[in-house]
Amino acid sequence: MALIDVTRVGFDNAPMPTPRSVPMSGPLSLLVLAGCLASAPLACTGPQGPEGPTGPKGADGPVTPRRLLDDKLGRWLPDNRERLNALIRDVGIASPTFDPRNRPVAVFDWDNTLVKNDLGDATFFWMLRHDKVLQPAGKDWSTTSRHLTAEARAALTSACDPAGEPGQPLRTSEHAACADELVSIYSSGKTRAAQAAWDKQLTLTLNTSYAWVAQLQAGHTPEEVRGFARSAYAENAFNPVGTTQTVGSVTGLAYHVRVYEEMVDLVETMQDNGFDVWVLTASPQFVIDAVSEQLIGVKPNRVVGIRSVTDAQGQLTAHLQGCGPMADGEDTLITYDQGKRCWINKVIYHQPAEQQLARQPDEHQRQVFAAGDSDTDLAFLQDATRLKLVLNRNKVQLMCNAYANARGTWLVQPMFVRPAAQAANPYPCTTAVDAAGQPLVDEDGHRFTEDFEDRVFLLP
């Protein structure tokens, strides 16, 4: 099924108004007209009178934003809408300090921030249902990720050896056991026998499951993967909210992806007002840049996702591009958690490698705005200098920062489709730890002194 491209209807072809003519009337006017036509060009021109005084210089009118958020899209909390509009007025083209050579940067997470649900998941599940994952060379699953445990490799070998030959598509649509093992390791971090699948599932720069989705695209070209993503989106986009699918014999997997129209309006409004808008995602690069322009108006060269190393034939490999101190092929840093900060500093601000993992002290080398929904968006949200927009999905570390609101720059917005219910208990800000096992801290590095109640969870 092809991705449907909906174009916008504009007014560029409206007819230009024609100048109005003021008719001359009576015999005199006819004579004057006839005389002018019969004479030389200056025959109807009398002597020139003295030049009048120069009028006062007209004052330039105030510069105004080209547009603000559409007030007919009514699911923004009113204060959030106003503060976003204020940001657009203050730093966009209407600002006296606006510099078109150094535009304000806005960075958006993709999955569950710009869209409901996860397009990376949807594409992976589509690949399994359509036999697009290739059997690893030598049927050796360690070649797909160095972080798979021996138990996971053995489970995959047992389940997937019959499903295809090395370098050929795994027939996961027919071999449910193979599909089930892949889904289990990806979704739960465990084999179907409940054994740990990863030697290090989460760090501050790596989610091994997320990375594995990109690594399992090895053997395909970027354009092939883009085609997979467009097909997956087309299958998911028009399903009712809450629709699920079965992959192998695993039931209950999400089968719908819905673009948030409010977020599309925000992206377009920022772009129209001179912002440099980027998408930053822990989904594979070619999954998101395949649809970003059609869905939200962000060109592929403004998308930063998990980037794979390619081989001499232009095919993706199971190795990942590095950032900061991590070289290509080390496979330990992706666009995840503090890795998102690294990739912003690398791709958007072109910082040297030794500075890419650190928050930049110069605020002009940081985004003015960031939007996210997950604890693993926290680093690049904390770095935003003017506003940080959080879609409330009850993520402890993120919500502790948002409700602490250390510098008064955090906005909390319920999800636009099926918002999360109020958290049953206060967020354990004073006792929870991050992926490195360290106490939670705010954007200034201070530990929290209170546990915050969930207050913003209902749509207007």
The 3-state secondary structure of 181-198 reads HHHHHHHHCECCCCCECE
Q: What is the CATH number for 275?
A: 3.40.50.1000
Q: Of 278, 411, 283, 396, whose CA–CA distance to 344 is shortest?
A: 278
My answer on whether 263 and 302 are in the same domain is yes
Tell me, what DSSP letter sits at residue 330? -
User: What pLDDT digit, counting tens, does each position of 369-415 carry?
Assistant: 999 999 999 999 999 999 999 999 999 999 999 999 999 999 999 99
pLDDT score at 30: 37
Q: Which residues on neighbouring strands pair with residue 439, listed in sequence order?
A: 433
- Mean pLDDT for 351-367 is 97
Q: 380 and 367 in contact (C-beta within 8 Å)?
A: yes
User: What pLDDT digit, counting tens, does each position of 12-53 carry?
Assistant: 333 333 333 333 334 333 333 333 333 343 344 455 656 655
Is residue 224 one of the residues assigned to a domain? yes
Given 254, 271, 305, the domain boundary residue is: 254
My answer on whether 104 and 226 are in the same domain is no
Is residue 51 one of the residues assigned to a domain? no
My answer on whether 210 and 133 are in the same domain is yes
My answer on whether 335 and 214 are in the same domain is no
Separation between Cα atoms, residue 48 and residue 34, nearest integer Å: 22
- Compute how many other C-beta atoms are within 10 angstroms of the C-beta atom of residue 36: 13
pLDDT score at 185: 98
My answer on whether 143 and 286 are in the same domain is no
My answer on whether 277 and 312 are in the same domain is yes
Domain count, the chain: 2
Is residue 445 one of the residues assigned to a domain? no
pLDDT score at 51: 62
Is residue 452 one of the residues assigned to a domain? no
My answer on whether 91 and 180 are in the same domain is no
Q: Of 265, 272, 276, whose CA–CA distance to 368 is shortest?
A: 276
My answer on whether 132 and 176 are in the same domain is yes
- Amino acid making up residue 206: L
Q: 323 and 346 in contact (C-beta within 8 Å)?
A: yes
Mean pLDDT for the chain overall? 90
Residue 309: its H or E element: strand 308-310
Q: DSSP labels for 410-439? A: EEEEE-SSSPPPPPSS---TTT-B-TTSPB
Q: 301 and 292 in contact (C-beta within 8 Å)?
A: no
- Amino acid making up residue 421: A
Which are the contacts of 349, defined by CB distance < 8 A and separation ≥ 6?
360, 365, 366
My answer on whether 148 and 225 are in the same domain is yes
pLDDT band at residue 352 under the 50/70/90 scheme: very high
Is residue 421 one of the residues assigned to a domain? no
- Amino acid making up residue 327: A
Q: What is the pTM of this model?
A: 0.86
Given 254, 286, 315, the domain boundary residue is: 254
Is residue 451 one of the residues assigned to a domain? no
Is residue 307 one of the residues assigned to a domain? yes
Is residue 137 one of the residues assigned to a domain? yes
User: What pLDDT digit, counting tens, does each position of 53-91 carry?
Assistant: 554 444 455 689 999 999 988 799 999 999 999 999 999
Residue 244 structural domain: 119-254
Given 226, 254, 282, the domain boundary residue is: 254
My answer on whether 210 and 182 are in the same domain is yes
Q: Which residues on neighbouring strands pair with residue 196, listed in sequence order?
A: 190
Bridge-based pairing of strands 276-284 and 258-259 is unpaired
My answer on whether 279 and 159 are in the same domain is no
> Does 211 score more than 90 pLDDT?
yes
My answer on whether 143 and 104 are in the same domain is no
